[in-house]
Structure 1
Amino acid sequence: MEDFIGYSFVALMLFGFGYALIWHIRDATEVHRSKKWNTTAAKRKLIANYLMVVSLGGFLVSYILNIAVGTLVHIRPEAVQHALINSDTTAFACFSSLVVYFISRFAIMPKEEENQRLLKAKI
């Protein structure tokens, strides 16, 4: 029963991050197709969206490789111990991809200022 719960959690994580990747690809193409590229905020938003797509894609690939290495350890442990792609390198790739994602999400992406007009309105 514990194996089933673990495998279902891994499958849900793959599905969730795959869905997030598709969502960010849709957002990046929507920003790219918009004609409002005159401001630096729009350019920063476009660069941040592209960086988020690349980092989520890298995370998903490295997570799938980590799963493959983890299942290969149980089948042939002598082949995985000295390989270039092992559990440590894939875990570091997952971590670095998430760091790049969060940097692009919170540092590069411009803040939305929707309520500024309401504050400056004269009564």
Structure 2
Amino acid sequence: MSDTPSSDFQYSPIHKSQAKLACSANLLALLEQIPDMQIIDIRDSQDYALDHIGIARNIPMQDFASLSQEILANPQTTYMLHCYSGYTVSVYGSYLVEMGAKNVYYFDESFYELKQALQNHHKQEQ
């Protein structure tokens, strides 16, 4: 969890996890350090279809077997998981770390906070 690229930010996790922490405060540093990070949206497929982050793939929370298989099979790829509020990905992140994954971040805030942080990131790039 303390393995985040930017350790100079102050943030108390809302949801504790054994996975690495991602939040609005360190998201820009993470994306700069790991530009090919894979973002996985674990919300229901219906909610993903209604609104999602363009670069995120959907592997619904009900399909934890597929999610864990992909992450464990690709240790060289970094993944950031997000859900509705950050709770479920904190739990899933811990499960994945217990299964041996070292390449998992969890976004500890809401879907809408992630969406806003990514929009701000894209504005800064322009």
TM-score band, normalised by the shorter chain? under 0.3
Greater Rg, structure 1 or structure 2? 1
Q: Which has the higher strand share?
A: 2
TM-score by length of 2: 0.22
Q: Which has the higher helix share?
A: 1
